[in-house]
Chain A
Amino acid sequence: MFLALRDLRRSKVRFGLLIVAVGLLIFLTLFLQTLFASLVNSFTGGLRNQSGTVVVFGADARKNLSGSVITPAQQAAINDVPSVQSYGPLGVGAFTVTPAGANPKPVDAFLFGYELTKPGAPTTLTRGRLPQTANEAVVTANVPGFGLGQTVQIVPSSDAVDPLPITIVGEATDLRYSVQTTLFVSYNTFIAARRTANPAAAQQPVFPAAIVVTPNPGISPEQLARTITQTVTGTDALSRAAAAAAQPGVASVNQSFGLLILLTVIVVVMVMAFFFLILTVQKQNAFTLLRAAGASKGYLRRAILIEVVVVLAGGLLCGFVLLALGVLVINQIFPATVNPNAALGYGIFLCVLGFLGALFALARIRKFRPENAANAPALGGLA
């Protein structure tokens, strides 16, 4: 302990640099992991957190809600599938919405329309209640201008049409879709929003993007999804989790962030291994002399271990502080939230890996034999 702490005190700059480097790497890994989790949540939250456990897409949509359409004939056919307990339409679309407040600037938002007594309701309500009638919505929590009791408006594409007012009656967490604020409204409100945004298509039918289904007890969503895909022509049914994973961007985010996080983890391990190995090799003479003076291998290993622990603890602290700052900054452009348990788990995992990297240095101690002191000219011995 004494040796390690003295060394740390004498080489403040060296260890300071290492702590900052390890801290930055831990920050980078945690930040990537936070960004990854937030992106996936923000891409698919609306779909994952609605009550239908099976999602039926049009087969031509490539499992993309924005491009999917289910025809009335397909809806009827889904009704005839055995094991369907209940089902309902899910309308999904992007709209320009004016938030509440003084001089509000219109923003992009998604509307999810569902039949209020059928599957499709948001499941993560934290405040207020679900919509009970037209022009009411549950919205992504903590979005300025979309607070409980406030009224927002769907912006029409023509002066000839009035904006469609929607009153916020509930807030729910993890309810974004395609990273945008998402409002869950009645299916009729969704149709009205479509007519408002595009009055030119007033004579055209509004088909749901998907049908959300609840299976009979004892039937798994996966089983029912397979049955629907096989029996209803032109549909592609998936369990809710699989449907969320199939949304645009999720697979590429998974692949690319997985690769980036892996590369960063490798760099963390290498930096730790590289630094402590060089440090140990540099101290070869001093360690050999200490061994000759009676210090045990365990004593020297403990000294290095203490340094490793101090560096990792400092790096972890530095990483968490930077993560908190990084998330504050990133929240200006993207809604990211840190999952403290996941971040802590990841941080500890990185420290374990860093520790494993430093084991090379500990193994090196084995080579420092006391008798070598007599042969080392730098220690006054004979070559």
Chain B
Amino acid sequence: MLSGPIERGTTLLPQIKSQRTFNFDQFRKGGILVLWGTFLKLVLAERLAIYVNFVWNGIDECSGIFMIIAAIAYSLQIYCDFKSYSDIATGVALMLGFQLSYNFYQPYFSESITDFWRRWHISLSSWFKDYLYIPLGGGRCKKVKKYRNILIVFLISGIWHGANWTFLLWGILNGILQILEDYTFLIREKICKLLRINCTVFSHRILKIIFTFVLSSFCWIFFRANSVTDAILFIQRMFIRWNPWIIFDGSLLNCGLMASDWVIVMLSLLLLLIVSVMREKKIDLVGNILCQGAWFRYLIYLLGMLSVFAWGVYGLGYDASSFIYFKF
């Protein structure tokens, strides 16, 4: 309840007070959500974490592409990790008859940082918006004041995640990026008009999505780093070497993940992508699964459980309560 979707009293309290009856459909939906969350956590997030930790624990030995892959991997890891937690919480709640709001709305499909913060950890962001940003004056005021408000919100958000300069920097960085976006909005629009760029087509939007992903991944570096010096060292070492061959010569296989692990990572990411696209297109995947024939449904459950069982990264030396976000 603390780290999952942070539910408003107005939506949650009436549900607690009201009489609930067992709803089989909701129960099944919740079950699938829990399974999906477990999959994201154990199969994807925990596996990516092995590589990410390997690089971060040996910043001095890694460089170039190792760093870049680690940065990307961490973006995906923290998303899967946090999303899995929200999904499990939402799923369990649904099984018990509570409706919790969605906490993530495909954040990595965002076309700008502003967009990103509308899709990432929605319950927290909207809380900040309603209880901090708007009381401060929100965006309907002078630009300088608006930018100040944005900075304050992200600063607080940073500190909220942990008492460390890294989180503070991460918050400020996000704030600055959002301010820059807002500040350059008119200029960018003019350039697009001048060069007759169609901003609504997929090819243009995918560029924006990639650019936004790169920016947010960059910010996550500070989030992951143990100290600001580590983060700066990490960024430095990203650029001191250009070694793309490590992707092909097997060097990546010496970083804690075997070839088969990478295959699982890729396949899982593909699955995540498909599911995300469907949600973005508002296709009700769970509903679709539930109205299929029994053999198909059970096959899905079985395969889901089997893959979590076998491919999940857990067991001796693994502490299942180490959800990254839990401590927040």
Q: Do A and B come from one complex?
A: no
